Structure 1
């Protein structure tokens, strides 16, 4: 286990806050040749699952269909903590981070997709959350559910 995971783990409340507050994450999938593919994504955290959305075709979709195992990271760098004596090697970072592993699958149920997409709208454009999403947009948007198997978080301040 990493040193800071032992000394600075995020509490469940802080971990939930981070995943509900932070705007971007990174979704790691596996390419057919075994190399990792890391994609920046918008996401929502609902009932211990992470959801992302996007185009219904592409490399991350192909990778998930072939291999459902994924990794996910969310990170909030809040400030640089400069050494009072000006030593660059003693500079640190104030941050919070979350790392999840799990299994990803495309959501096919239209009502679940609609609920997730409404949550995404509410998170990123709350002023538009009252607008009903058109059926063709819900049907035409890929929604990926990551069932989290392991979730850890750490911080430094």
Structure 2
């Protein structure tokens, strides 16, 4: 059992507010492939957008199992007398799940609207050109397991 588990409310808050996470997939050579991603959390799923082609998408098509990690560093915790007592105060979430590509245009637009609300709210209500929608890939991560923990200040 984790010493400092995050509550479900804190997990959802972290998944809603943090701007960058890391997605891990299995590379063709068997090595993990980890990439930083922008994401949104909605309907108890993680959505990631990017180009409709690339290594992470090829990996997901080959093996849908992925890892996802997000953290917030709160600060360093220093021991006044012991340099080995220095630690990091943080919150983190680790997710395991299965990733698929969204194909439905209406679903893609709903996810892109969520990205706009999170990252560029000044563009809310804008239209997405058809050419851009075709070049945009949306990864849907269905969560199989989710854990969160923190280290206090």
Per the TM superposition, whether the score is higher than 0.5 is yes
Question: Separation in 2 of the partners of 1:126 and 1:63?
Answer: 32
* 1:79-107, Cα deviation, whole Å (9 max, x unpaired): 0011122x221011111000000000000
- In the alignment, structure 1 segments of 5+ residues that lack a partner are none
Q: Give runs of ≥4 in structure 1 deviating > 6 Å.
A: none
Paired position in structure 2 for 1:108:
103
How much does 1:39 deviate? Answer: 0.6
Q: Within 5 A, what are the aligned runs for 1:101-140?
A: 101-140=96-135
Paired position in structure 2 for 1:156:
151
TM-score (normalised: structure 1): 0.93
RMSD: 1.0
Paired position in structure 1 for 2:22:
26
Question: Separation in 2 of the partners of 1:122 and 1:135?
Answer: 20
Question: Separation in 2 of the partners of 1:107 and 1:84?
Answer: 52
Tell me the number of residue pairs that the alignment of Structure 1 and Structure 2 aligns.
152
Q: Secondary structure at the match of 1:7?
A: coil
- The answer to whether 1:47 aligns with 2:43 is yes
How much does 1:60 deviate? Answer: 0.4
TM-score (normalised: structure 2): 0.95
How much does 1:34 deviate? Answer: 0.9
